[in-house]
Chain A
Amino acid sequence: MINRRRFLQVSGAAVVAGSTLAGCGDGGTAGGGAKASGDLKLPTYKPFAGLQPDLPGAESGLEPGFLRFPANATASVKAPPLKNAVTALTETFATPPPPMGSNPMWQALNQALGAELKLTIGTDPGYPEKFATLLASDSLPDLMWLPPNQGIPNIGPMLEAKFQDLTKYLSGDAVLEYPNLAALKPASWRTAVVNGKIWGAPIPSTPFGQVMMGNPRTWEKVGGLQSANAEEFFAKCKELSNGTNYALEPAIINMLHMFGEWFGAPNGWRVNADRSLTHLYETENYRAAVEYAAKLWAAKVFYPDLNLADATPKTVNGQIAAQVVVGPRATADFRALDPTLFVDTLIPFGHDGKAKPVYDMGYGTVGFTPFKQTDEGRIRELLALMDYLSAPFGTKEYLQKNFGVEGQQYQLDAQKNPVLTKAGTQQAPGLVSALTIMTSPESVIFNPAFPDDTRKIHATEQKLLEFAMRNPTAGTYSDTSSKVGPKLTAAFRDTIVDIVTGRQKIGAYDEALKRWKSGGGDKMRGEFAAVLPAGVPVTGS
């Protein structure tokens, strides 16, 4: 099997460069979209007051931490939201759930909602095809999850033609009628704005991006994973690589993402003083990172099989010392394999020990869920449903959606944390995944079995935030990017991997960059620059 992880996005940047569609631009072709988006009044932000996290969150993106599940979950919704059945297209990132008819958890949710929630569950990959066929067939479900990164083209015109403009129900104080939607942050809402209109409730996910994690038992021999500069890291890697043991997983592009942060490469695009944009690939910083990666490869510190599907077991048993994961909360993946192991997260450092590193934040949401065009009564009913399903962590509705019914799908452990029962583990994962990809509250850190992990992750996040950089184009939209971006990125990366693994010389970098620019890179730059929000700061270098 081809290792897909290897091709992961370099950064949140690439999410946009690749195929963003959610955004407040209008494709950069017709004027006015960016301005209209600027004029739009985002929904008023009113955090949920009913709960105090053990570790506070912050506007910067810091996620609140809960050491245990709040006792006596409070209700955040006054009445069941539905009177009529609702259909929805969503996607599961877990194994598909048992169908509604034989899934008591789903039935219990329907009961709580007041009517049936009929989900059409797509899988990954394959979702864009499912989306496109449903759209073409003109028999749209009431709700359709719209992912920001799967290459669905022409978002603006599509939304205008087939979906409901929700601006007047959500803009400004209007959102206060739906308190759980009002508890979503403005940064999240921005990703649900296209052509200056709000098209659905955003689906927040962790705002953090990729990090490198290492097994502390392995790194102990060389004084730990944290390093002061790139040379020190190189020396440690070399020392750890011998026989069948290697320092780094062979996910070249992901590793390059980390090195790029040490060399000060921007998150996707750099905003210059004159408000022009420079792409990551065009910077000397990224080029230096590529050369550094080639040096590491030549020193044989990468696990040699580029097709390795999943490095996690090898990191746990020490064969590989470090790998790149989706974000600082991924420590749980390693705990799942070895409950005694808490992996270390590398905090970016300046390549020479002096320069300020950057840490690339992620996209922050998984898109939004637009409604099929309908009348006001139905719109309000659907909004009430979204409000219910976006209930914050710790509420009754959150429990119902994620854990089901006490005594059936979950039980409380000694610390009063909900734990899925055997029935729960069968009924919940596929259903919960399908529900949370289309509706979600703001994210929290919660590791019920290991409360101390929550503390440590919270501390790590604060350190990462010191270097945080957001992609300046996040939440905007370039037509060229969604059409040819993924292809251009893939072609450029092929050359990069060749250079790192010694199959091509560094000179090939410039040719590949030329191809990237003429193939659409320059056009993307123009489109993104045209809709660059005024609030985005000039990138400090």
Chain B
Amino acid sequence: MRPIWKESPSPAYQAIKAVVLGGFALAIVVPILVVVSTSLASDQDIIDAGGYVLWPSHPTVKAYQTLFSGGLMGRAIMVSVFVTLVGTAIALAVTIALAYATSRPVLFGRPVLLMVLFTLLFAPGIIPMFLVVKQFGLLDSLWSLILPGALGAFNFVVLRTFFMNVPGELLESARIDGASDFMILRKIIMPLSKAVIAVVGLFYAVGFWNAFFNALLYLNDTSKWPVQVILRTYVLQGKSLSADQLGVEPLPQPQSLQMAVVVVALVPIAMVYPFLQRHFTKGVITGAVKG
């Protein structure tokens, strides 16, 4: 008799699997579909559906036209893209360099440095951060969104642990061949760590893309606001606790417009995933099975 895992599964079992997995897939796809559909819905569609629309019967791109007509959204996307690209590049450079340095036992004063870095795991308060940013003259500058977040303690720990697992013999032989530290990092460590660097890069990128709170605090010039702040004002508008208490009656944004902002904020970063997914799985399962 063939072992059980070689048996072809029964049709009933197949069907159950299809239903369960299909159910999960729907649970993920339907909300996204609703967001996209609602963003394309006409006012009448929204009233007929009483809010969210599953499939617009009179599709229109009016919401997107309105969104981009003010110029605010276009600029905000540029800002977000800039902050994400430059921020991720700087953050990766800083984190990789630091992780490499602290992963090697030869570094002078390493225990002290590690203690200092340990404190980075705890977030500082809003006001101390603000004062530091102000003293560096970064207020109202896009660098205030990039530099304070350029070193994530968690990402640093992940990278450092990974680098420490690279066999010392490899690096020793490179050194005997005359390689400098920079060369070792570039030619040996980084190629070996592509997967984990991709993952950490993605963490940084998503973090920079999603960040809004720093922008609220540090940027007074609305033309420098990133997409997420705009998204927040559109979606939360008219639903705020304080507005209602005060009897302020902000004009609620049409649901289609709200969802259009969601789509605009979602698409660019979602586009990054397919390219990194290969590394992502590899990075995540690193260490699961060594073979």
**Given A93-B250, A137-B131, A366-B246, CB of A98 within 8 Å of CB of B72:** yes
Q: Is A229 an interface residue (CB 8 A)?
A: no
Separation of A503 and B128 alpha carbons in the complex (Å): 43
Contacts of A137 in B (CB 8 A): 130-131, 134
Separation of A102 and B70 alpha carbons in the complex (Å): 10
Q: Is the beta-carbon distance between B220 and A120 smaller than 8 angstroms? A: yes
Q: Is A174 an interface residue (CB 8 A)?
A: no
Q: Is the beta-carbon distance between B240 and A426 smaller than 8 angstroms? A: no
Tell me what chain B mostly uses at the interface: helix, strand, loop, or mixed. helix
> Among the listed A8, A98, A136, A332, which residue makes an inter-chain contact with B70, where contact means beta carbons less than 8 Å apart?
A98
Q: Is A363 an interface residue (CB 8 A)?
A: yes
Q: Is A312 an interface residue (CB 8 A)?
A: yes
Q: Is the beta-carbon distance between B47 and A129 smaller than 8 angstroms? A: no
* CB-contacts of A343-374 with B (<8 A): 362-363, 366-367
| Residue interface bits A119-138, CB-to-B below 8 A is 1, else 0 | 01111111101101100110
What is the chain A residue whose CB lies nearest that of B140?
A: A120
| Residue interface bits B214-228, CB-to-A below 8 A is 1, else 0 | 001100111101000
Separation of A337 and B49 alpha carbons in the complex (Å): 13
Q: Is the beta-carbon distance between A125 and B241 smaller than 8 angstroms? A: yes
Q: Is B177 an interface residue (CB 8 A)?
A: no
> Among the listed A121, A209, A437, which residue makes an inter-chain contact with B248, where contact means beta carbons less than 8 Å apart?
A437
Q: Is B172 an interface residue (CB 8 A)?
A: no
Separation of A121 and B217 alpha carbons in the complex (Å): 10
Contacts of A209 in B (CB 8 A): 247
Q: Is A313 an interface residue (CB 8 A)?
A: yes
> Among the listed B127, B223, B255, which residue makes an inter-chain contact with A99, where contact means beta carbons less than 8 Å apart?
B223
Q: Is the beta-carbon distance between A8 and B134 smaller than 8 angstroms? A: no
Q: Is A37 an interface residue (CB 8 A)?
A: no
* CB-contacts of B60-101 with A (<8 A): 69-72
Q: Is A494 an interface residue (CB 8 A)?
A: no
* B276: min CB distance to chain A, Å: 28
Contacts of A205 in B (CB 8 A): 246-248
Separation of A317 and B48 alpha carbons in the complex (Å): 6
Binds B, one of A267-275, A322-330, A411-419: A322-330
Q: Is A35 an interface residue (CB 8 A)?
A: no
**Given A129-B216, A314-B50, A326-B247, CB of A136 within 8 Å of CB of B223:** no
Q: Is A241 an interface residue (CB 8 A)?
A: no
Separation of A155 and B45 alpha carbons in the complex (Å): 48
Contacts of B49 in A (CB 8 A): 313, 317
Contacts of A92 in B (CB 8 A): 233
Q: Is A510 an interface residue (CB 8 A)?
A: no
* A146: min CB distance to chain B, Å: 12
Q: Is the beta-carbon distance between B230 and A95 smaller than 8 angstroms? A: yes
* CB-contacts of A286-340 with B (<8 A): 308-310, 312-314, 316-317, 319-320, 326-327, 329-330, 332-333, 336-338
Q: Is B190 an interface residue (CB 8 A)?
A: no
Q: What count of chain A residues pass the 8 Å CB interface test? A: 71
Q: Is A480 an interface residue (CB 8 A)?
A: no
Q: Is B232 an interface residue (CB 8 A)?
A: yes
Q: Is the beta-carbon distance between B134 and A124 smaller than 8 angstroms? A: no
* B56: min CB distance to chain A, Å: 14
A-B pairs with beta carbons under 8 A, tally: 160
Q: Is the beta-carbon distance between A333 and B230 smaller than 8 angstroms? A: no
Q: Is the beta-carbon distance between A130 and B72 smaller than 8 angstroms? A: no
Separation of A95 and B253 alpha carbons in the complex (Å): 9
Contacts of A308 in B (CB 8 A): 51
Q: Is the beta-carbon distance between B237 and A93 smaller than 8 angstroms? A: yes
Q: Is the beta-carbon distance between A313 and B130 smaller than 8 angstroms? A: no
Q: Is the beta-carbon distance between A121 and B50 smaller than 8 angstroms? A: no
Q: What count of chain B residues pass the 8 Å CB interface test? A: 49
**Given A93-B240, A123-B232, CB of A99 within 8 Å of CB of B246:** no
Q: Is the beta-carbon distance between A314 and B247 smaller than 8 angstroms? A: no
Separation of A351 and B196 alpha carbons in the complex (Å): 66
* CB-contacts of B122-136 with A (<8 A): 126-127, 130-131, 134
Contacts of B237 in A (CB 8 A): 93-95, 124
Q: Is the beta-carbon distance between B244 and A8 smaller than 8 angstroms? A: yes
Contacts of A314 in B (CB 8 A): 50-51
Q: Is B243 an interface residue (CB 8 A)?
A: yes
Separation of A218 and B81 alpha carbons in the complex (Å): 48
* A310: min CB distance to chain B, Å: 7
Q: Is the beta-carbon distance between B247 and A129 smaller than 8 angstroms? A: no
Contacts of B50 in A (CB 8 A): 313-314, 317, 319-320
Q: Is A217 an interface residue (CB 8 A)?
A: no
* B60: min CB distance to chain A, Å: 16
Q: Is B245 an interface residue (CB 8 A)?
A: yes
> Among the listed B213, B225, B253, which residue makes an inter-chain contact with A96, where contact means beta carbons less than 8 Å apart?
B225
* CB-contacts of B188-221 with A (<8 A): 213, 216-217, 220-221
Separation of A3 and B43 alpha carbons in the complex (Å): 22
What is the chain A residue whose CB lies nearest that of B218?
A: A133
Residue with the greatest number of chain A CB neighbours at <10 A, chosen from B48, B51, B230? B51
* A450: min CB distance to chain B, Å: 16
Q: Is A390 an interface residue (CB 8 A)?
A: no
Separation of A120 and B134 alpha carbons in the complex (Å): 16
Q: Is the beta-carbon distance between B222 and A102 smaller than 8 angstroms? A: no
Contacts of A150 in B (CB 8 A): 242
> Among the listed B43, B72, B217, B244, which residue makes an inter-chain contact with A9, where contact means beta carbons less than 8 Å apart?
B244
Q: Is the beta-carbon distance between B47 and A338 smaller than 8 angstroms? A: yes
* B224: min CB distance to chain A, Å: 9
Q: Is the beta-carbon distance between B236 and A125 smaller than 8 angstroms? A: yes
Q: Is the beta-carbon distance between B220 and A336 smaller than 8 angstroms? A: no
**Given A93-B250, A95-B230, A95-B234, CB of A121 within 8 Å of CB of B222:** yes
Q: Is B249 an interface residue (CB 8 A)?
A: yes
Q: Is the beta-carbon distance between A133 and B243 smaller than 8 angstroms? A: no
Contacts of B46 in A (CB 8 A): 313
Separation of A4 and B46 alpha carbons in the complex (Å): 21
Q: Is A5 an interface residue (CB 8 A)?
A: yes
**Given A149-B242, A317-B47, CB of A366 within 8 Å of CB of B248:** yes
Q: Is the beta-carbon distance between A102 and B131 smaller than 8 angstroms? A: no
Q: Is the beta-carbon distance between B247 and A147 smaller than 8 angstroms? A: no
* CB-contacts of A1-32 with B (<8 A): 1, 3-5, 7-9, 14-15, 18
Q: Is A97 an interface residue (CB 8 A)?
A: yes
* CB-contacts of A144-184 with B (<8 A): 147-150
Given contacts A3-B239, A7-B241, 11 further A-B contacts (CB under 8 A): A15-B245, A95-B233, A99-B223, A123-B229, A129-B126, A136-B130, A137-B134, A206-B247, A313-B255, A332-B249, A337-B47
Closest 3 CB pairs of A and B: A93-B250, A314-B50, A133-B130
Give chain A's interface residues, CB within 8 Å of chain B.
Answer: 1, 3-5, 7-9, 14-15, 18, 92-99, 101-102, 120-127, 129-130, 132-133, 136-137, 139, 147-150, 205-206, 208-209, 308-310, 312-314, 316-317, 319-320, 326-327, 329-330, 332-333, 336-338, 362-363, 366-367, 426, 429-430, 433, 437
Instruction: List, sorted by A's number, 16 A–B pairs whose CB atoms are closer than 8 Å.
Output: A4-B241, A9-B245, A93-B240, A95-B237, A96-B229, A98-B223, A99-B223, A130-B216, A137-B131, A147-B246, A310-B51, A313-B49, A326-B248, A332-B249, A363-B246, A366-B246
